[in-house]
Amino acid sequence: MKKSIVYIVFAVLLVLVAVLAYLFLNQRQELNEMVEQMTIEKEELENEYEDLAIQFDGYQNMDIRNDSLQDLLSREQQRVQDLLEELRQTKASNARRISELKKELATVRAVMKDYVRQIDSLNATNARLTMENRQVKEENQLVRTRNEELTQANTELTETVTRAAMLEMTSCNLTMLNKKDKKTRMVSHVRKLQFDFVIAKNITCTPGIKDLYARVITPAGVLIGEEENKLFPFESGEVPYSMMQQIEYSGEAYTGTCYCPLGEDPEIEKGFYTVDFFCEGNLIGSFPFQLKK
Map out the domains of the chain with their CATH numbers. Answer: 2-130 (no CATH), 135-291 (2.60.40.10)
The band of 27, judged by pLDDT with boundaries at 50, 70 and 90, is low
Return the ∠ at Cα 171 (arms to 167 and 176), rounded to 5°.
125
Q: Decide which of 170 and 157 is more confident.
A: 170
Q: Decide which of 34 and 23 is more confident.
A: 23
Residue 156 has pLDDT above 70, yes or no: no
Residue 82 has pLDDT above 80, yes or no: no
Beta strands in 158-250 (DSSP E): 169-177, 192-199, 208-217, 231-234, 237-240, 243-249
Residue 32 has pLDDT above 60, yes or no: no
Q: Decide which of 183 and 92 is more confident.
A: 183
Residue 177 has pLDDT above 60, yes or no: yes
Closest to 247 (Cα-Cα) out of 288, 205, 190: 205
- What phi and psi, each to the nearest 5 degrees, are found at residue 136? -65, -40
Average pLDDT on 149-165 reads: 66
Could you give the CA distance from residue 166 to residue 281 in angstroms, rounded to a whole number? 10
Give the burial class of 82: count Cβ atoms within 10 A of its Cβ; 0-12 exposed, 13-18 middle, 19 or more buried: exposed
Residue 6 has pLDDT above 60, yes or no: yes
Q: Count the neighbouring beta carbons within 10 Å of the beta carbon of residue 21.
A: 10
> pTM value?
0.46
The band of 22, judged by pLDDT with boundaries at 50, 70 and 90, is low
| Model pLDDT for residues 190-212, shown as the tens digit of each residue | 999 999 999 999 988 889 999 99
Closest to 276 (Cα-Cα) out of 237, 206, 223: 223
Give the burial class of 246: count Cβ atoms within 10 A of its Cβ; 0-12 exposed, 13-18 middle, 19 or more buried: exposed
